């Protein structure tokens, strides 16, 4: 039977509302390829999550996100908040600026080629992460992520990059935010529990990755796998300012992991606490604050690839 498909479109994703301009062409390609679908535009933050969750409850078994990493994050959460048994396929046509998730998965950036993936029959089951945190209202909340989550400096930079104009692309806003925050940021003393092994460390950042890339192309977790039942825990240690400037370019190639103050290990459950407020990002979206508890949910999401 043909899938019952729902396409969720973020019209303002990409440089200069790129998605709104591309949608007519995307729609034509999908219809010409024989895909029958309904579609809906998002109207603000959180709306893609609501649309996707409602679509699953209404019997749609093929949900396609058209937008950037934030749109993918919300649509995936809409699906996963309803089912984690892999019965619903997530499709991705990435028209945003970051495109970190598709780099790991191997989905083409070109929207025409991505439409071909949606129209194809190849599917892949992947793991996802689930993070529990303190929301901005002070209440404990939880959220799924498909790519990665982080606390510390990376979250502060991700937050700062949201205020940089999107016409600059993906990497430039991240780097500009880094330059702005860099002089004033102080490394944090964190209590870590990694699969039951407890330690206290002073860290620049802790990134827990399902995928390999973040920040618009930085290969933060070069050995990450989307289906190994574990998450890659990348601890960026007590790096000083000058040292960080020297190490930073290596993140784009993934060679930073050989630095003596960087550690990488795989885990199923990670808990982080800090005496001072510590910001949390997941898939580049700012969610709230620590303490944070993260776990892998194996084989939870069926992906069109």
pLDDT in tens, 214-272: 888 899 999 999 999 999 999 999 998 889 889 989 999 999 999 999 999 999 999 99
User: According to the model, what pLDDT value does residue 172 have?
Assistant: 66
Q: What average pLDDT does this structure show over 105-121? A: 96
* pLDDT for position 245: 86
User: For the ranges 32-41, 149-158, 172-181, which has the lowest average pLDDT?
Assistant: 172-181
Return the domain boundaries, the chain: 5-121, 128-298
pLDDT at 95 (0 to 100)? 93
Over the stretch 115-148, which tens digit does the pLDDT of each residue have?
Answer: 999 999 999 999 999 999 999 899 999 999 999 9
Residue 136: the pLDDT is: 87
Whether 104 has a pLDDT exceeding 80, the answer reads: yes
pLDDT at 30: 98
CATH of the domain spanning 128-298, picked from 3.40.50.2020, 3.40.640.10, 3.40.50.720, 2.60.200.40? 2.60.200.40
Is pLDDT of 178 > 80? no
Q: Output the CA torsion sign for 44, 45, 50, 53.
A: positive
Q: For 3-28, how does the pLDDT look when each residue is reduced to its tens digit (9 = 90+)?
A: 899 999 999 988 767 899 999 999 99
**Where residue 194 falls among pLDDT bands split at 50, 70, 90?**
very high
- pLDDT of 83 reads 94
User: Of the given ranges (21-30, 108-117, 162-171), which has the lowest mean pLDDT?
Assistant: 162-171
Query: Is the pLDDT assigned to residue 166 strictly greater than 60?
Result: no
CATH topology of domain 5-121: Rossmann fold (3.40.50)
Contact 194, 293 (CB under 8 A): no
Q: What are the backbone dihedrals phi and psi of residue 143, each rounded to the nearest 5 degrees, phi first?
A: -155, 140
Span 63-98, pLDDT tens digits: 999 999 999 999 999 999 999 999 999 999 999 888
Question: Which pLDDT does position 170 carry in this prediction?
Answer: 53
User: Residue holding tokens 């945003």?
Assistant: 96
Q: Which of 295, 211, 218 is nearest to 249 (CA)?
A: 218
CA distances from 252 to 23, 156, 213, 218, 255 (A): 31, 19, 9, 4, 8
Task: Of 271, 249, 130, 140, give the one whose Cα is nearest residue 197.
Answer: 271
Q: Report the alpha-carbon distance of residue 191 to residue 201 in Å, rounded.
A: 6
How confident is the model over 22-56, as pLDDT tens digits?
999 999 999 999 999 999 999 999 999 999 999 99
């Amino acid at each position: 039977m043909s899938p019952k498909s729902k396409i969720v479109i973020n019209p303002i994703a990409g440089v200069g509302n790129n998605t709104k301009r591309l949608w007519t062409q995307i729609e034509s390609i999908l219809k010409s390829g024989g895909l029958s679908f309904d579609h809906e535009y998002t109207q603000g933050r959180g709306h893609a999550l609501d649309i996707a969750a409602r679509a699953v409850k209404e019997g749609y078994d093929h949900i396609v996100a058209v937008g950037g990493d934030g749109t993918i994050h919300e649509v995936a959460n809409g699906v996963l908040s309803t089912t984690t048994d892999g019965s619903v396929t997530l499709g991705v046509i990435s028209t945003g600026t970051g495109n970190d998730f598709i780099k790991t998965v191997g989905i083409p950036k070109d929207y025409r080629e991505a439409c071909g993936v949606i129209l194809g029959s190849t599917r892949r089951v992947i793991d996802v992460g689930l993070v529990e945190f303190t929301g901005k209202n002070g209440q404990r909340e939880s959220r799924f992520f498909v790519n990665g989550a982080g606390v510390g400096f990376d979250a502060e930079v991700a937050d700062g990059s949201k205020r940089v104009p999107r016409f600059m692309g993906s990497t430039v806003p991240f780097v500009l935010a880094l330059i702005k925050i860099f002089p004033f940021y102080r490394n944090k003393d964190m209590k870590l529990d990694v699969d039951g092994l407890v330690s206290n460390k002073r860290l620049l950042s802790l990134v827990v990755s399902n995928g390999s890339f973040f920040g618009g192309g930085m290969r933060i977790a070069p050995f990450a796998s989307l289906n190994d039942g574990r998450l890659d825990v990348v601890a960026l240690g007590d790096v000083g300012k000058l040292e960080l400037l020297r190490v930073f370019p290596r993140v784009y190639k993934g060679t930073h992991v050989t630095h003596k103050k960087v550690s990488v290990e795989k885990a199923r459950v990670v808990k982080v606490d800090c005496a001072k407020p510590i910001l949390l990002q997941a898939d580049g979206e700012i969610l709230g604050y620590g303490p944070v508890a993260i776990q892998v949910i194996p084989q939870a999401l069926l992906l069109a690839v």
